[in-house]
Every structure is written in structure tokens, then in C-alpha cells.
A and B are shown apart, each in its own frame.
Chain A
């Protein structure tokens, strides 16, 4: 018994750094931000309790509503588009052709470029007059839109640009596809199944756990979308690309309005939580974990 207890103590001792890290750097800040969201707090002055006033004010703040609807737009577009691009790339990369290793690294490469460098390059791609995209469109006789300079196009442009980072997702899906036993495809071919049937009935069930993982992480990522719009548009034109993440930053560090910023963070946190729970609950129906 004492030996077991000793072992447990040693185990806890080994886990202690991680546990402490989790408590001090994750759990405490989360709880503290919850408290601050109920106060008027400016970092260098003591917080003042104001109840749910910050939350009430949020819903009459036109910029919060605008940034919130922008964020929903990002969520609705980024998640499915990233899924389609990721799976399509994976379907190409899983083929065993000569030199596939080269293509796999090429697809991954954009993700290791620092986001700042990559966003600056993207800015030039989408420049309406001198940009590569509109240059190519002009060759086929299409007059391209103004992309990030146009209120109506800016969000979609950012969603397109974000697909540059599809490499890691594609590699994950590819790894999942590699695990599919070859015999299943052979049997399906003998039974006369077409390519779509093979994908839907064989490949997809095998990659469904990865899909679940992708949906959860990318939905959270989309709700926190910050770096690309911040570097490429600064939220403009006319706040058309302002995400909640950027609005939180603006309140926290420009106006030192921490309480208000914390309230916004909590709203995003609660939405993330609900989305994750819904995805996990429904996953029993469509995720296949093997026999």
C-alpha cells in the first residue's frame, strides 16, 4: 500500500510542472477573464464591479454586431471550404506516383512561411491594378473585382487567402486515407462501384475521425480569426472585414477597456463551447472508429 502511495506521489511529482502550468497559465486566466468581464477594468486601476453591463452594452454596440456578423461569415466559409480543399489535396497526394514526396512537401511549404510575409505577398496578388490575379483574369477578358479594397469582396478574399494554409489539413487527411485497406477498394471495383461511391462509402468513413477533429479545431480557429485580416486589411474597408478577435484587441489595447474585451472573449468562448459540444454529440452518428 505504502509502495503504491509512494508511486502515486512520484507520478504526481512528475506531472506537477504540467499541472501547475495548466492551472497558472490556462485555468486561472480563463476564470480571471470571466471575473473581469463583469467589471470595468483598465489594468492599472483596480476593477470596479458592474455586473452584466458589459454584456448588455455589447448588444447595442453596432461595431460589435458588425464584427460578430463578419466572424459568422468567416466561420460559414472558412470551415467547409478548408474541408473541401484539404480533402481534394489529400486525394491527389495519396496517389503513389513518382516524386510524390516532392509534391507533399510543396503543399506543406506555405504553412511554414511566417504569416506576415505570406500576407504581404497575398496583398500583391490581389492588388486590383498590378496584381497577379487580376492580371490573369484580364488575359481571359474578365475584369476582376477590387478584392480587399471592396467592402463586398474583402471577406471572401481573406477566406481565399486563408486556403494557402491548407497543407497541414491535407497531410492529416492523407495519412487517414493511407490507412484504408486496399482490399476494400478492390472489392468495390469488382462490384462495379464508381469513384464517388468508393469515396463516400469507403474513404470517408475512414477519415471521419479526422474530419471531426478538423471541424472542431477549424471552427474554433475561424471564430478567433485575427492575423490575416489584421495584417492585410486592418479591419477595413469601412470595418467590412473586422473580426471579433480584432475588435477585442482594439478594446483591450487601444482603449485599455479590458472588462469589455473580456466580455467579448467570453461570448466567443461560449459559442466555441456550444459548437464543440454539438459536433461531439452528433459525431456518434457519422464518425466511424473501426470495428
Chain B
């Protein structure tokens, strides 16, 4: 009888122990639907779960684009948000300003992590994008970089040396002309179009050597900058020289608009990979796409830093990427912070190896370069890469710059007015936020 009761007590203890050890469940929303990226993320989550038996992370694929986070917004407003969320890094400031994120530094400290030391282990621009109002709201995940891609075969056909890509803007214009073929009114091949691919207003503004935002005075300054105006004039020159109508016809056949944006939601066919656009500015992910077989067999391409104006004297590029945050109202922020810490440190090494994404954690970069020697150029650019100003009006500023460029290209506004209109509109929004 006694034995039995002792057994019962032991059993009870066991049950309570198991119940007490019920792991904390963390919901992690991400949007990497590409099978390679997704698999890697799920494996990292698995490893974390094995190492931390008291936490169970569940990764859920939730489609969203960079600036459109409708699901997250409604989930936060309704109090049903996830514990960790995969967020486009340049929108961290915006989300933080609108009170949609939990301060991450506080919860990292609760886990006994030295935040200042941690910050120093990331590439500067990446960690800077995660900070708003002196508070850390995110840890950086991957990044990217932009360079000039060119088709070596088309270079040879045009009598250009395939090992000598253009270095300056002047050379670029000259090569572009040589690489363009026309039959009657119809382009068979175009050498270069500045705004296709990753040739955004930011790309050329920085390439022409200037900044868009004055951090000290908290003012947007691009509309008064002669060099940035010149970068727009230079793009306008392409529209005039090659003809909007003719370029529109050329690009629409690939399912994209002449301004380079895809028409509709069907993914456009890449005229560069198709061998009909000889050069374009694009990101390192294009390399992964070529390796994955999106280019025809025997596709010969080269990569070079983005050409720059002679008087600027050096090439520049910019980087974006993703981050992981804790949305407002998360049920287990402390455990979520532990998970995010793991993802953004050790997890990055595995992700860089698996998915060929550029890491932001400094320790992961050598591992990445070793695994993908071809990406060395991009990794080298990271130390000098620019980043979009981390402002709560980031998405609006981006859209306004693109709209301003389109006004200029279509000849609806001159450069001066287009830039000034955009700057005034965004500054007005920004001022509202700075006052608070």
C-alpha cells in the first residue's frame, strides 16, 4: 500500500514536471517563399528548437512585399500578431515610429546579452537601419549589393573587349550606343537603360556622388543638389535619345513597362538574361538566378562596379536586406528575443552557406566568400555600401523619388520641379513626425 502511494507521488511529480516544462511557443512569420531560402530558414529553426528544449519556434510562411505589411498591421491591431516577424530593414524606423514594434534591446538584455558588443558585430549600415530614436528595434538578417552586369558575347559581337567593362559614365554611354541594334523602328537589342533592374533614383544619386538626407539637420536635401539633378538629367537623356515609344515597345514584349517595373503581377522575362539587353545594374541575387539555370546554356556574363562620373572618381553601391523584429503585443517577447539573437548570429552563417545571401554578421562574411567565390565582389563592396536613410517616411520617399523620375522621363515635369515637389511632400510628412 505504502509503495503504491509513493509510486503515485513520484508519478504526480513527473506529470507536474512535464507540464511545467511545456515549451513556450513562439510564432515566427517570414515571407521567403523561394524553396532554397525557405528550407534553410526552417532548418535553422529546427536547430534552435533542439538547442532550446524550453522554447518551440514555429516558422510560418506569410506572403507580404517589402512595404506592404497588411497582415501584420491587422494582426497587431487585433492583438493576434506573431512573436517574431521578418521585416524589410529600411521600414524598421517607420514601423517603430508607428508603435508597431517592441524594443528589442530591452529583451536582449533580459537574456543577458551585451547589446553594445552585439551591435559592433554587424556591418555598420545594417545595424544603423535597425535603430530608431536610440532604441534597437531589430537585428539585421541578410543584405545585398548592386553592380553592373554585362553580356560578354554581345560585347565581342560589338567589337568591345569583354574583359574591359565600362568604368565611367562617359564610357557607359559610349558602349551603350555601340551595343544597340535597330531594325527600322524596332529595337532588336539595347545596350543599356539606366532605370532597368536596380537603377533606382537612389542608385544614380549616390553614384553621382551625393546624399539625399542631411542627418544632422534632419532635412531632405536632394532637390537642391546639383549632382543629383544631373543624375536625373542624365537619365532623361536616355529617354530622349532612345525614344520612349520605341523603348516602350521593346520592353513591353518582356512583360515590363519601359520604366523597368513589371506590368501587372506576372514576373517579367529578363531581357538581360535573354541576351537582348547588353548591360544592366542589378543585385547579387541575379547571380543566384543565373546559377539556378534561369539563363540560357552558355550564357557569358561579367560583373563590374557601377560606372561613375569621371569627376566623382570612385564607384559606389547601396545595400538593402531584411531584419527580424518583435511585433507589438507579442506574447513571449523574451523568448522571441533569444530566438532572434540566434537567427541573426549563428543562423546567418548557415543561411549564407545554404541560400547564397550576403550576411550582415561580420563573422559570417568569410564563410560566405569561401562558399561562393564569385560573390567576392559584392562582399568587398559592403564596407563602403550606402543605405537608404532609416526614416519613418522611407516607403513614401522611395515612391516619391520613383514618381519624380517617371515625371521627368515622360517629360511631364522638369527635373527641378519634380525633385522639389517630391522633397516638399516628404519633408512635410517627416516634420509632423519629428515634432512629436
Chain A interface (Cβ within 8 Å of chain B)? 40, 42-45, 63, 116, 119-120, 123, 127-130, 146-151, 231-234, 236-239, 253-256
Contact B77 A234 (CB under 8 A): no
Within 8 A of A (CB), among B225-272: 248-249, 251-253, 255, 257-259, 261-266
- CB <8 Å contact, B396 and A255: yes
* Bound form: Cα–Cα A151–B409 in Å: 13
Excluding A123-B255, A128-B253, 14 further A-B contacts by CB distance (< 8 Å) are A43-B73, A44-B98, A44-B99, A116-B265, A128-B252, A148-B252, A149-B263, A232-B263, A234-B261, A234-B262, A234-B264, A237-B248, A238-B412, A254-B395
Inter-subunit contact A123/B98 (CB<8 Å):
no
12 cross-chain CB contacts under 8 A: A44-B76, A44-B77, A123-B255, A123-B264, A130-B253, A148-B263, A149-B251, A234-B263, A237-B257, A238-B406, A239-B403, A254-B68
Query: For residue A116, which residue of chain B has the nearest CB?
Result: B265
Q: Is B328 an interface residue (CB 8 A)?
A: yes
A40 CB, nearest partner CB in chain B, Å: 8
- Are B259 and A236 touching (Cβ within 8 A)? yes
* CB 8 Å contact bits of B161-197 with A (1 = contact, 0 = none): 0000000000000000000000000000000000000
Identify the closest chain A residue to B399 (Cβ): A254
Q: For A147, A234, A254, which residue has the most chain B Cβ atoms within 10 angstroms?
A: A254
Which 9 pairs of residues, A with B, have the shortest CB-CB distance? A149-B252, A129-B253, A232-B264, A237-B257, A253-B70, A44-B99, A128-B252, A44-B100, A42-B98
Q: List A contacts of B94 (CB < 8 A).
A: 256
* Cα separation A123 to B432 with both chains bound (whole Å): 42
Chain A residue contacts of B432, Cβ below 8 A: 40
Q: How far is the CA of A239 from the CA of B259 in the complex (A)?
A: 12
| Cβ distance A151 to chain B, nearest Cβ, rounded Å | 8
A-B pair number, CB within 8 angstroms: 90
Say whether, besides A44-B328, A45-B98, A236-B259, A120 and B266 are in contact (CB < 8 Å): yes
Question: Does the CB pair A127–B252 fall under 8 Å?
Answer: yes
**What is the minimal beta-carbon distance from B187 to any residue of chain A, in angstroms?**
11
Binary CB contact string for chain B from 45 to 62 against chain A (1 if under 8 A, 0 otherwise)? 000000000000000000
Q: Which B365-423 residues sit within 8 Å CB-CB of chain A?
A: 395-396, 399, 403, 406, 410, 412
Neighbouring B residues of A120 by C-beta, 8 Å: 264-266
Interface string of B96-138 (1 = CB under 8 A from A): 0011100000000000000000000000000000000000000
Q: Which of A44, A150, A236, A255 is most buried by chain B, counting CB atoms within 10 A of its CB?
A: A44
Take A43-B77, A44-B73, A254-B399 as given contacts and tell me if A238 and B263 are in contact as well, using a CB distance cutoff of 8 Å: no
* Residue B16 lies at the interface, judged by CB distance under 8 Å to chain A: no
Q: How far is the CB of A113 from chain B (nearest CB, A)?
A: 16
B67 at the interface (CB under 8 A from A): yes
